[in-house]
Amino acid sequence: MSRSALKLLAVLLLFPLAVASAPAQDWAKANLEKSPRHREWVTLKHDGRSLQAYVVYPEVKQKATVVVLIHEIFGLSDWAKEMADEIAAAGYIVVAPDLLSGFGPNGGGSSEFPSQEATVKAVSGLDAGVVTADLDAAADYGKHLPSANGKLAVAGFCWGGGKTFLFATHRKDLAGAFVFYGPPPADVSTITAPVYGFYAGNDARISSTVPDTTAAMKAAGKRYDPVIYEGAGHGFMRAGEDPAPTTLPANKKAREEGFARLTMLLKQIDQQTAELRDPAASHAATSKAAAKSAAPVSCEHGAAGNDKAMAAIM
């Protein structure tokens, strides 16, 4: 075989490896780079530990609710950062801690791991107490930002969904916990915030826990509102956003409906904050709405259509 043929063979053999090692979330990174929002890394200190957190600010004139975002078992990936940016675009300050900070090669975080398998192994091995302390540090930082309105929520995905549910048993100042396809904690008795669940129909490993969790939360007198998106698979918030032709329509639909529901619920938290800040204005608005409802009402098809759309989202 000639030298040129050997070179060609070597290139052909290496090509699949190059494709396999290419970043799987280039689309998420590209979307993030187009964002006009302010994004920054901050270092949070606690118990002698340095935690890196990715913070995204909304472009709003009023103070905003803070959302602590807990990443998947894949670490603080490009998609996790893009998800943080999308939530910020809806009007919220997002603090996304890299829970692998300091545990990667050369003392790095998520981006330093050589493979997805290595990242998954590292996240799976994180100490639960350290994770809780990290989340507390992220929550405390966000809540005390000058542009924060004092309201705090937490949202997590996959592994982070389970940690979100668990964090709700620990953190007493949460206005809401948004669990995306994560398992429940063993004991729900100490939860004080409403918990909203987002589950995939084709994910029996997780969605099969919903009936027992519903019963446990009801018995404990806690608010739990789960929604199962039929036809979707585990990780649909990420998978449904992937522009690849192979993306399942059910994942895309679940992703769109799930995000709409998340932002709707966050807006409800904002409304509660506004009412607490200015009860007089809230009372005036309520009185005005009552007076309007008492007046003669003409048929408005648009309003009925909106109610139907809202019911579909719920």
Closest to 151 (Cα-Cα) out of 277, 5, 313, 56: 277
Q: According to the model, what pLDDT value does residue 199 have?
A: 98
Closest to 175 (Cα-Cα) out of 155, 151, 142: 151
Q: According to the model, what pLDDT value does residue 25 have?
A: 84
**Domain boundaries, given as residue ranges, for the chain:** 24-284
**Is the sign of the CA dihedral 163, 254, 270, 293 positive or negative?**
negative
Mean per-residue pLDDT for 170-189? Answer: 98
Task: Give the orientation angle of helix 249-277 with respect to helix 78-89, to 10 degrees.
Answer: 50
How far apart are the C-alpha atoms of 58 and 95, rounded to whole Å? 12
Is pTM beyond 0.85? Reply is no
Answer with the residue of higher pLDDT: 22 or 126.
126
Lowest-confidence segment of 205-209, 236-240, 272-276 by average pLDDT: 272-276
Q: What is the DSSP string of 184-236?
A: PPS--TT--S-EEEEEEEE-HHHHTTHHHHHHHHHHTT--EEEEEEEEEETTH
Task: Give the orientation angle of helix 26-33 with respect to helix 78-89, to 10 degrees.
Answer: 40
Q: According to the model, what pLDDT value does residue 277 have?
A: 59
- Going from the C-alpha of 216 to that of each of 167, 205, 245, the distances in angstroms are 17, 18, 41
Tokens matching residue 52: 């890196």
- pLDDT tens digits, residue range 4-27? 444 434 333 333 333 333 346 899
Closest to 39 (Cα-Cα) out of 84, 77, 71: 84
How far apart are the C-alpha atoms of 158 and 173, rounded to whole Å? 23
Mean per-residue pLDDT for 248-259? Answer: 98
Q: Which CATH superfamily is domain 24-284 in?
A: Alpha/Beta hydrolase fold, catalytic domain (3.40.50.1820)
Are 208 and 201 a contacting pair, CB within 8 Å?
no
